[in-house]
Amino acid sequence: MRVLSYNLEKFKATDELIDLAERFNLDVLCLQECDSSQLPAELGGLHLADSTKGNRLGLAIYYQRTRYTSVATQAFALKKSWHDRIAAPAHERLLASRLRDLATGQEFTVASFHASPLTALNSLRRAQIALAHEQLAEFGSGNPELMVGDYNYPLFKNRLSTRVGRTGHDLTLSDERTYTRYKFVRGHFDFATSVGMRIHSVETLPQGKSDHLPILVTATVDVAGVAQTV
């Protein structure tokens, strides 16, 4: 499964999406900071599973309909920072889609996640990540899950990895930094957490119009201890 995650930086990189979907032969595309009202139903061979409706900076998930069917989608509100309350950029910071492999019948969950910005404390983002994992487990009925997106967590990721690991999840960084706008906060902002998945690679792609670089996750679903390519 080839999953691309991209923070479009207030819609700036929207016109890059068709090329990315086709060039990298994507199975799933997860977006952050998109304009949900302007998203097409079909994009580079991918079908829109769903998008958030109330967010100024929206989330969206596209999937390859020739390989999967979308069983359900749901958006979730997470714990709010003061920035969320004042600027109201995003009421819902998690969007999940439960997909079924048409060939095998295996179900798994893919989610697009956007944590609160750096004006919030790491403790707030850790709470958001933990709640997101809890909600995904319930939404996906315990099936394998992959959550990608902008975690806004440039520092102390070893501590975050340890905390995430306590709940059975893996944290996987990309091979290169994903945010380069400001020197003092450059780092891995965009990465993946997963459970029941075997992550083979997380590749940082070349920078486009956004201040975030897209990441490409290659993974397999691990069913009963045996990795099953999806």
| Residue-level pLDDT, tens digit, the chain, 230 residues | 999 999 999 999 999 999 999 999 999 999 999 999 999 999 999 999 999 988 888 999 999 999 999 999 999 988 776 556 555 556 789 999 999 999 999 999 999 999 988 776 888 899 999 999 999 999 999 999 999 999 988 766 788 899 999 999 999 999 999 987 765 555 788 999 999 999 999 999 999 999 999 999 999 998 654 445 45
Number of neighbouring beta carbons within 10 Å of residue 53:
11
Confidence at residue 119, expressed as pLDDT on a 0 to 100 scale: 77
Q: Which CATH number fits domain 2-228: 3.60.10.10, 2.40.30.10, 3.40.30.10, 3.40.630.30?
A: 3.60.10.10
Confidence at residue 186, expressed as pLDDT on a 0 to 100 scale: 59
Is residue 188 within 8 Å of 177, Cβ to Cβ?
yes
Q: What is the DSSP annotation of 113-154? A: EE---TTS-HHHHHHHHHHHHHHHHHHTTT--EEEEEE----
| Alpha carbon 89 to chain centroid, angstroms | 17
Coil, strand, or helix at residue 199?
Answer: strand
Residue 75 neighbours by CB under 8 Å, 6+ apart: 50, 52, 53, 59, 92, 94, 95, 96
CA dihedral 108, 114, 60, 75 (to 10 degrees): 70
Confidence at residue 81, expressed as pLDDT on a 0 to 100 scale: 60
Confidence at residue 40, expressed as pLDDT on a 0 to 100 scale: 96
Cβ-count burial 201-230 (b if 16+ within 10 Å, e if not): ebbbbeebebbbbbbbbebbbbeeeeebeb
Structure tokens at 173: 């960084």
Structure tokens at 32: 């952050």
Longest dimension (CA), the chain: 47
Domain ranges in the chain are 2-228
Residue 184 neighbours by CB under 8 Å, 6+ apart: none
Between CA 44 and CA 52 the distance in angstroms is 20
| Crossing angle of helices 157-165 and 122-139, rounded to 10° | 30
Between CA 43 and CA 60 the distance in angstroms is 12
